[in-house]
Amino acid sequence: MIRKEVIIIGAGPAGMAAAVKLESMGFRDLLVLEKEEQPGGVLRQCIHPGFGLIRFGRNLTGPEYSLEYRNRMEEAGIPVCYDTTVLKVRKGEDGGIIITAAGPDGTKEYYCDAAILASGCRERSRGALMIAGTRPAGILTAGTAQGMMNLLNTKVGERIVIIGSGDIGLIMARRFTLEGSRVLCVVEKEDVCGGLSRNRKECLDDFGIPLVTGAQVVRIYGEKRVRSVTIREDDGLERTVECDTVVLSAGLIPEDGFVEGEVPGLFYCGNALYVHDLVDEVSESGEEAAMDAAGFLLSRGSGRETFSRYASEEVPRVRKERRAYVERRKEEKRLHRDDHHFITCIICPNSCRIDLRDLSGGQCPRGEVYARNEKEHPYRILTTTVLTEKGEPVSVRTDVPIPLEELQKGVETLQRFRVPGPVKTGEILLRDFICPGTNLVATKGSTE
Amino acid sequence: MIKETDVLIIGAGAVGCAIARELSVYGRRITVLEKEADAGFGASGRNSGVVHAGFNNPSGSLKAALCREGNRGFEKLASDLGIGFLRTGKLVVGNTERDLESLTRLKIQGERNEIDELEILDEEEIRRREPALRGKYALWSGRTGIFDPFEYTLALAEDAASGGVRFLFGHEVKSLRREQDGIRVLAETSAGDPAEFLSGIVINAAGVGSARIFRMTGKDTYRVLPCRGEYHLLEKGSFGSIGRPVYPVPDPEKGVLGIHLTPTLHGNLMIGPSAEFTEDPEDMANTAPVMEELLAGARYLLGEDCSFRLIRSFSGIRPRIVEKDGTPVTDFRMEEDPDLPGMIHLLGIESPGITASVPIAKRVAGMLREDGSQPQDRLLTERDRSRFPRVKEAAGGRMICRCETVTEGEILQAVENARKLGALPTMKGIKNRCRASMGSCQGGFCTLDISRLLKDKAGIPTDRLTYDGPGSELFTGVLKGGEDQ
Ligand SMILES: Cc1cc2nc3c(=O)[nH]c(=O)nc-3n(C[C@H](O)[C@H](O)[C@H](O)COP(=O)(O)OP(=O)(O)OC[C@H]3O[C@@H](n4cnc5c(N)ncnc54)[C@H](O)[C@@H]3O)c2cc1C
Ligand SMILES: Cc1cc2nc3c(=O)[nH]c(=O)nc-3n(C[C@H](O)[C@H](O)[C@H](O)COP(=O)(O)OP(=O)(O)OC[C@H]3O[C@@H](n4cnc5c(N)ncnc54)[C@H](O)[C@@H]3O)c2cc1C
C-alpha cells in the first residue's frame, strides 16, 4: 500500500490545476495518477484555438493551454504516475480513501486522506441513442474522430453526417472540411444549436455546412461500411442522405464509474463533476476542489463541518443544478436563436453588437466598418497537423489570423510538407506562410 | 489447383467448430471453410448465451434429447475448454391462471424429457430469488445456465486447430459437385479468387446459409425463412440483482421463447430477442418499432416504471426452415444426401443449437464412424493448447480499455490467437476474444489506443484496420502525406 496525503486522479486541465493549487497551499505529499503517458487529457487532441481567453487573455490551442499547466506542475515538482489507470475508489475503514490502480508494474493499492477526482468525461455512444439500423464500420464519436485525425494521422471518412451539434461536433465539422472530407449536414434533435454561437459561426457558417435542427437520424444503413442515413425532420418527413461516415456529438457523460458510492474526502472537479463548456472553467473548478480538499484536511478532527459543493456527497445535487442551468440556457438560446449572425465589435470598449446581415447595431460608423470587414474578409487562425520526417503528426497554427478563404489552401500546402528533424513547442516551422509576415508555429513538440 | 481433404466442413459457427473438434481425433485431414473473417460471426455470436435445460422442446424430439445431453455435459465441456459457465437456474414468469396452466404443462413436458430441478414457484418465492421481478407464478429450472458464446465458439475452434484442423476464413462456398473420388467444392475468397476443394465428406453447417448449400446439390426440398431476433444490451449493474435468465410464458403460436432478460457472465443484462421474419438472411438491422417492443417486453417483467441504460443493440437470425410446401421444420435435421454419399446436411439448427452443439457433433461423428475409422487420440484435453493461450493470462502492459479493464497484453494475444487460427485480425474478433471496446463507452476511448497498438506492435496499418473483414475498413485513409507512405 502506497500512502499519500492527497491523490489526484487524472492529469487533464482539472487535475493539473488542482495539483498545482494544492502544492501552492503547502501540501507536498501529493501524487497524480494518469492513465495516459502524458498529461493534458482531452486537450492533447484539441489542436484548434479557443482556449484560455478568460484565464490567460490569449487565444490558445488545447496543447498550448495544457503546456502552461504542465510547466507549472513540473516546476512545482509534483510527481505523476503515468500509464496508471484507476480501477476503483472506495472508502477505507478508518476514514481514509483506498484507490486501486493498474500501472506499468501491476495493480497496486494507494491510501490517502483526501483525493481529487479529475477523470473527465466520455462521449455518449450510438447504443444510448436508440438509432435503428445496422452496425457497419464508419460510426464513431466526434472525440474519437478528433483523436484519430490529430494524434494518429488518420482520415476517418469522406462523406460525413454529424449527429448532434455539441461543440466537439462543430469543431470537427470544420476540421473534416479543411482536411478534404465533405460534411453533408449536422443534425440536431433540439430546436437550437447545442454548441456555442462562436463555434456555430466559425465552424459551420464559415464553410456553408447546413445545420438541420428539430431533426433526428432515425436509421443507419450499410452492411460493411455506412452507406446512408435516414433523417426525420420536425414535420415528420424523412429523407435519405448517402454518406460513408456518421459522427456522433450527442452528449458527454462524466467518467466516475469506478467510484464506489459516497467517499468522504473525495472531491470532484472538471468534467468528472459535470461537463463544462470552457477549459478555463474546468481549471477553475480544479482549483476550487483543491481548496475544498485543503479545508477538509485542515478541519479534520476539529469537529467543524466542512461544506463543499465538490464533495462526493454533493455530486448528485450539483449535477442536478447543472442540468437545470443547461435547460435555462437552452431557453435563452431559443430567444437568441440568430445569435450566430451577430458579432461584438472590438474597436472600442462600447462592445456594440452588430448584425452581420445588414451591419446595423453599431453606435458609430467604425462598428459598421468592423462588421463589413468581418463579413466580407473574415480572418481566422488556421490550425492543422503536419508530419515530421519520421511520420509523427505534430499540431501547428498560424501565429495570426489569415483570410478565411485561404484556410483551405493553407491545409493543402501542408499536405506533403515534412518537418525536418525534431520539433519544439513554439518553434516557427514556416515563415511567410500563405500571407507575408504570417508564421506557421508548432503548438506541440514532437516526441523525438 | 484443387486442394484435397478428407472432411470439409462448411461454416465456422459453434456447430461447425464443434464438429471439427470432435472429428479431429480421428487423424483425418479436416478443413473448415468460413465466408466471414473469423469464427463465430454468425448466429453463434448473436444469441442469448443460455445453456438451456430442454423442457421447452417437444418430448421425443432431437432438440429435447440433444439439449439435455448438452446441458448435462456442460460443466465438463467448459472445464475442458477452459471457459466460463455458470449454472444460474432460470425463471419462466406468468401472471394469469392461464399462464399457470402453461407453466405446469411446460413442467410436465420437461419431466417427460427427463429434466430435473423443475419447480413451480409462487409470488413470494419469485421475489425471494429475484427481488426486481414482477410476476405471480413461475417455473423454476435449476439446470439452466449462462455462458459466453464468443468465448465458447472460439475455444472450440482453437481446440480443433490444436488438433490439426485447418480453418480457411474468407472462403464462401458457391457450388458443390459430385466427382468420382469425392465431392468437389468451389469457394470464392473475399479477394474474389476461386478456390477448389475435393473431399470425401462434406458437412453443411452453414447455419442460416445451410438451405442455400442444400440447394447447391440440385434439390429444392427446403427453404430458409430467416427469423430475426433483436436485442438490447444494458450497462453493467442494471437492475442490480438479476442473476439468472428470466423468461415470460412462451407464446406457442410464435414458436419462440419470448422477450427475456439474460444476465451475461460479465455482469451486463440483455433484453431480447424479438421474432420477426425478414426477407434477407443477412439483414441484421435493428428496427425502431422492435427496439420499443423490447423495452415493453422488459417492462412486463420488471414493472412499468423502470428505465434502461442501453449500450448497444444488435440482432441475430434464426435459420428457420420450411419444406417446399411450406411445412415448418420444427426439429433439427441431420441427414446424409442419399444421392450424394458423404454429403451431410445440418438444417434448422435453431435454439437450443448452441447448447446442443457438441451432442450434434457427436451424432455427426457417429454417422461417419460407420465407415470403421477409429479415434486416434481420445484425450482432447491433453492436446497442445499452449498454442492458444487464454487471453486473460497475457494480461500486462498498459490498460487500454477502461470499461472492461483490458490490457495491451490481452489485445496482442487476441491478435495472435486470431492469426494462429487463420483468421484475419479484426476489431470485432479482438472484441470477441478479449472484450476490449465491449463496455459502456463502446470504444469511445480505446479505439484510438487499440489502433495505435495494432499499428505499432501487431503490424496492422490503421487504414487497413477493419471492423469485421474486408469492406468494413474503419477509416478511409491516411490524413497527411498519404501518397508517399
Ligand atoms: C473534443 C473536445 C473539444 C473541446 N473544445 C474546447 C474548446 O474549444 N474550448 C474550450 O475552452 N474547451 C473545450 N473543450 C472542453 C475542455 O477541453 C474540457 O472541458 C477539459 O479538457 C476537461 O478537463 P478535465 O480535466 O475535466 O478532463 P480531461 O481533459 O478529459 O482529463 C481527464 C484526465 O483523466 C485521465 N483519466 C480518466 N480516467 C482515468 C482513470 N480511471 N485513471 C487515471 N486517469 C484517468 C484521462 O486520461 C485524462 O488525462 C473541449 C472538450 C472536448 C472533449
Ligand atoms: C436470437 C437467437 C437467440 C438464440 N439463443 C440461444 C440460446 O440462448 N441458447 C442456445 O442454445 N441457442 C440459442 N440460439 C441458437 C444458436 O445460436 C444457434 O443454434 C447456433 O449458434 C447455430 O450454430 P451454427 O454453427 O449452426 O450457425 P452459425 O453460428 O450461424 O454458423 C454458420 C456459419 O456458416 C457460415 N456460412 C454460411 N454460408 C456459408 C457459405 N456459403 N460458405 C462458407 N460459410 C458459410 C456463416 O458465415 C456462419 O459463420 C439462438 C439463436 C438466435 C438467432
Residues B238 and B353 in one domain: no
CB under 8 Å to A402, separation ≥6 — which residues? A379, A380, A381, A382, A410, A434, A435, A438
Residues B361 and B455 in one domain: no
For the ranges A117-131, A343-357, A434-448, the lowest mean pLDDT is seen at: A343-357
Residues B134 and B249 in one domain: yes
Question: What pLDDT is recorded for position A372?
Answer: 87
The ligand 1 site (C-beta within 6 Å) comprises A 9-15, 33-36, 41-43, 46, 48, 50-51, 85-86, 118-120, 143, 146, 167-168, 171, 255, 258, 270-272, 276, 278-279, 282; B 402
Q: Is residue B444 part of a domain?
A: yes
Whether cis (ω within 30° of 0) applies to the bond prior to A104 is: no
The superfamily (CATH) of domain A380-444 is CPE0013-like (3.10.530.10)
Cell of B143: 439446470
Give the residue numbers spanning the domain of B275.
85-146+224-323
Q: Does B476 touch chain A (CB under 8 A)?
A: yes
In which residue ranges of chain A is CATH 3.50.50.60 found?
A: 2-120+255-328, 123-252
Model ipTM? 0.93
pLDDT per position as a tens digit, A17-61: 999 999 999 999 999 999 999 999 999 999 999 999 999 999 999
In which residue ranges of chain A is CATH 3.10.530.10 found?
A: 380-444
Question: Sign of dihedral through CA atoms B341, B342, B345, B351?
Answer: positive
The superfamily (CATH) of domain A123-252 is FAD/NAD(P)-binding domain (3.50.50.60)
Q: Is residue B16 part of a domain?
A: yes
Residues B334 and B412 in one domain: no
Question: What pLDDT is recorded for position B379?
Answer: 47
Comparing A369 with B22, the larger pLDDT belongs to B22
Ligand nearest to the CA of A55: 1
Q: Would you tell me which CATH number, out of the four given (1.10.800.10, 3.40.50.720, 3.50.50.60, 3.40.50.2000), belongs to the domain A2-120+255-328? A: 3.50.50.60
Per-window interface: A 195-254 vs B, CB < 8 A? 218-219, 221, 223-225, 244-245
Question: What pLDDT is recorded for position B482?
Answer: 74
Q: Is residue B118 part of a domain?
A: yes
Q: How many CA atoms, within 13 angstroms, populate the side-chain half-sphere of residue A155?
A: 20
Contact A361, A121 (CB under 8 A): no
Question: What pLDDT is recorded for position A333?
Answer: 85
- Give me ligand 2 centre to Cα B58, in Å: 21
Exposed/middle/buried for residue A60 (C-beta within 10 Å: 0-12, 13-18, 19+): buried
pLDDT in tens, chain B (485 residues): 899 999 999 999 999 999 999 999 888 899 999 999 999 999 999 999 999 999 999 999 999 999 999 999 999 999 999 999 999 999 999 999 999 999 999 999 999 999 999 999 999 999 999 998 999 999 999 999 999 999 999 999 999 999 999 999 999 999 999 999 999 999 999 999 999 999 999 999 999 999 999 999 999 899 888 999 999 999 887 776 689 999 999 887 777 788 999 999 999 999 999 999 998 888 899 999 999 999 999 999 998 888 888 999 999 999 899 998 989 899 999 999 999 999 999 999 999 999 999 999 999 999 987 665 666 555 444 567 778 999 999 998 899 998 899 999 999 999 999 999 999 999 999 999 999 998 888 898 899 999 999 999 999 999 999 999 999 999 999 999 876 44
Per-window interface: A 247-276 vs B, CB < 8 A? 257
Question: What pLDDT is recorded for position A375?
Answer: 84
Other CB atoms within 10 Å distance of the CB of residue A195: 24
Q: Give the single-character DSSP code of B194.
A: E
Query: What's the gap between Cα B146 and its chain centre?
Result: 13
Q: Give the single-character DSSP code of A130.
A: T
Query: Does the structure show a pLDDT above 90 at A346?
Result: no
Contact A151, B471 (CB under 8 A): no
Q: What is the CATH number of the domain that holds B95?
A: 3.30.9.10
Q: Is residue B364 part of a domain?
A: yes
The shortest CB-CB distance from B480 to any of A83, A134, A387 is to: A387
Q: Does A135 touch chain B (CB under 8 A)?
A: yes
Q: How far apart are CA A130 and CA B37, in angstroms?
A: 28
- Nearest CA to A123 out of A145, A102, A149, A101 is that of A145
**Mean pLDDT of all residues in A124-143:** 94
- Nearest CA to B198 out of B422, B373, B7 is that of B7
Residues B276 and B290 in one domain: yes
Q: Does B296 touch chain A (CB under 8 A)?
A: no
Residues B238 and B301 in one domain: yes
- Checking DSSP bridges between strand A402-403 and strand A379-380, what pairing results, if any? antiparallel
Residues B290 and B425 in one domain: no
Asked if B447 lies within 8 A of A153 by C-beta distance, the reply is no
Residues B128 and B206 in one domain: no
What band does A70 get if pLDDT is binned at 50, 70 and 90?
Answer: very high
Q: Is residue B73 part of a domain?
A: no
Domain count, chain B: 3
Per-window interface: A 85-114 vs B, CB < 8 A? 85, 87, 102, 104
Question: Sign of dihedral through CA atoms B396, B399, B402, B406?
Answer: negative
Residues B446 and B415 in one domain: yes
Question: What pLDDT is recorded for position A45?
Answer: 96
Q: Is residue B252 part of a domain?
A: yes
Q: Which residues of B touch A144 (CB under 8 A)?
A: 443-445, 447-448
Residues B430 and B347 in one domain: no
Question: What pLDDT is recorded for position B483?
Answer: 61
Q: Which residues of B touch A102 (CB under 8 A)?
A: 399, 405, 407
Query: What's the gap between Cα B115 and its chain centre?
Result: 24
Residues B140 and B274 in one domain: yes
Q: Which residues of B touch A130 (CB under 8 A)?
A: 291, 310, 313
- Nearest CA to B157 out of B9, B46, B359 is that of B9
The CA-based dihedral angle spanning residues A69, A74, A79, A80, taken in that order and rounded to the nearest 10 degrees = 50
Residues B142 and B214 in one domain: no
Question: What pLDDT is recorded for position B485?
Answer: 44
Q: How far apart are CA A280 and CA A54, in angstroms?
A: 6
Average per-residue pLDDT in chain A? 93
